[in-house]
């Protein structure tokens, strides 16, 4: 496998949406209702939404390619949301960049793709003049928490995440750049 990580292009929106539709459910807790997962995918992870993300100057979408096919992606968003007091308290070092999404196709778990995406994400965050990177991870997603901790992230607070009609509990993890 020859992993290549690069900034995604507008032409990648449909393929990114397909990868997102396959991978997002894997990060959801087992109690999450399938209809709520589907609603989130339709609203936030469609090809049209990825086209918007790719054209947003405050976002960077990085894709991991293997032989030209996208096998994973992550998204960086400049800043900390003004409307979330929990995240505001948890992220003390600014300027900051959110690692908003980071997913790899299941067949490629354990192959180094996630590590390559993380390295590229941290490099891009530094290039965006960030002093810290933060993320939200479901409190039940122990595998992701271990991965982020391995890369220097620590739990610094909690926040909630709306998944359809459900309210999920996330940890806010932060790492200095």
Q: For the domain that residue 141 is a member of, what is the CATH number? A: 3.40.630.30
Question: Residue 42's pLDDT is what?
Answer: 97
Domain enclosing residue 104, as ranges: 3-176
Cα separation, 85 vs 171, whole angstroms: 14
Question: Which of 47, 42, 19 has its CA nearest to residue 105?
Answer: 19
pLDDT of amino acid 80: 97
Q: What is the mean pLDDT of each run of 10 residues along the chain (177 residues)?
A: 93 98 94 95 97 98 97 98 96 98 94 97 98 97 96 98 91 98
| Token couple for 106 | 């299941």
Q: Give pLDDT tens digits for 65-110.
A: 999 999 999 999 999 999 999 999 999 999 999 999 999 999 999 8
Domain count, the chain: 1
pLDDT of residue 164: 86
């Amino acid at each position: 496998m020859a992993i290549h990580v690069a900034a995604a292009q507008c032409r990648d929106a449909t393929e990114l949406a397909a990868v997102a539709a396959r991978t997002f459910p894997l990060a959801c807790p087992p109690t999450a209702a399938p209809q709520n997962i589907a609603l989130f995918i339709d609203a936030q992870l469609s090809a049209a939404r990825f086209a918007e993300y790719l054209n947003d100057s405050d976002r960077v979408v990085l894709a991991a390619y293997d032989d030209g096919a996208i096998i994973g992606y992550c998204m960086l968003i400049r800043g900390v949301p003004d409307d979330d007091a929990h995240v505001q308290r948890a992220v003390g070092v600014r300027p900051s960049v959110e690692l908003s999404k980071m997913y790899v196709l299941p067949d490629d778990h354990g192959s180094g793709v996630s590590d390559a995406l993380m390295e590229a994400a941290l490099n891009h965050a530094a290039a965006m003049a960030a002093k810290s990177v933060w993320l939200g991870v479901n409190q039940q997603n122990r595998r992701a928490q271990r991965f982020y901790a391995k890369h220097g992230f620590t739990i610094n607070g909690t926040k909630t995440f709306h998944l359809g009609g459900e309210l999920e509990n996330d940890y806010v993890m932060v790492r200095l750049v």
